[in-house]
Amino acid sequence: MKEIDSKRQKLRISTLSIVLLINLICTYCLVVLGSTVRVSGSGTGCPSWPLCYGQATPVYGNTHAIVEQSHRYLASVVTILVIVSLVIVLKLKDKDRKNFLLKIAWFAVITIFIQVVLGAITVVTKNAPWTVAAHLFMAMIFMATMVVYFMASISQSYKWNTPLKPVRLWAYLGVAFTFLIIISGSLIVNAGAEQHCPSLPFCPSGEPGKDILLNMIHRSIVVTTFVVYIILCLVATGQYRGQRWWYVGASLVTSAIVITAIFGAMSAVTKANPVFQDFHLGVASLVWITIVALVTKMHIGDNSSLTSEKDSEKAYSSV
């Protein structure tokens, strides 16, 4: 029996999981590169789409064009890997595993298609603020999809679990507030407000009211998210006590948001230094990946020895 339980805890490493891991890494790099495009002012480096100045090869001598083209090349790689992943899933012989993964696979195809269309619209509209925000919004949805997709591919179990109600509430709030961190940060950059609050924790007087409001809302969301994470760690430890993945995941999530706040502070006091801005979004994206991965793990596989939510509630209340 112990041998069987041990096998259940092993990861399923397959061609699909390797392809998805590579694509998840590429997706993360794509988001960070998208940030570089924005903070470096390269969003209009290629005024046409899908080719850049009518050519598929790099436009040498034009730094902004090369940065924008690199983003498009990487987006193409991600798109191809999504399609390859779908083909692999469609060819799976294990029907249970195939059914478990197929909906995620199709959702990934749909989201990357929407993302490509939004990317084209962003270029055509010359980086209209709403298109940039929508592009980032969908990028986060796609990245979350890839996290769930990958974790489902390495799971030995083909079922979805439901965590305890308190755990579920704070886990979902953690995901929601993390998403708000990234979107509110994007609104600050789009509005050019990042240079008007070079002090902590409050903005100096005399700056535009709208810019101060955007910055303070963003900072309030960050603080609230950190509090939500702490509460999540407290309420979830009762259910996942003794399970290594929980302690590792919780530590990564809380560490990532602290590092994000540090880079955010450095970006603020340096009046939006492009390097710190890039690192800020890069680490914020890692926060998004880790919280989505942690919540996904709560829902996939046999994560608890408790067999029902009723039993779980009793155990939780006794902790």
The domain spanning residue 268 has which CATH number? 1.20.1420
Q: Is residue 4 part of a domain?
A: no
Contact present, 196 and 212 (Cβ < 8 Å): yes
Give residue 55's domain range.
Answer: 13-156
Q: What is the pLDDT of residue 253?
A: 92
Q: What is the pLDDT of residue 58?
A: 78
Q: Do 92 and 226 lie in a common domain?
A: no
Q: Do 124 and 190 lie in a common domain?
A: no
Q: What is the pLDDT of residue 146?
A: 97
Q: What is the pLDDT of residue 230?
A: 94
Q: Is residue 3 part of a domain?
A: no
Q: Among 121, 156, 191, where does a domain finish?
A: 156
Q: Name which of 76, 78, 70, 67 is nearest 44 in CA terms.
A: 67
Six token digits for residue 65: 């064009």
Q: What is the pLDDT of residue 140?
A: 93
Q: What is the pLDDT of residue 301?
A: 65
Q: Is residue 6 part of a domain?
A: no
Q: Is residue 8 part of a domain?
A: no
Cα dihedral 133, 139, 145, 146 in deg (nearest 10): -160
Q: Do 222 and 296 lie in a common domain?
A: yes
Q: Please list the alpha-helical segments (H only) found in the chain.
A: 2-9, 15-39, 63-90, 95-124, 129-153, 165-190, 209-240, 244-269, 274-299, 309-318
Overall domain count for the chain: 2
Q: Among 100, 135, 156, where does a domain finish?
A: 156
**How wide is the angle at C-alpha 10 spanned by C-alphas 81 and 106, nearest 5°?**
30
10-residue mean pLDDT series, the chain (319 residues): 42 87 96 83 80 82 86 94 97 92 96 92 83 88 96 87 88 95 85 79 81 90 94 91 91 91 86 80 91 94 47 42
Residues facing residue 52 across a β-bridge: 55
Q: Do 219 and 113 lie in a common domain?
A: no
Q: Is residue 177 part of a domain?
A: yes
pTM for the model? 0.85
Q: Among 95, 123, 156, where does a domain finish?
A: 156
Q: Which residues contact 96 (CB under 8 A, 6 or more apart)?
A: 158
Q: Do 124 and 171 lie in a common domain?
A: no
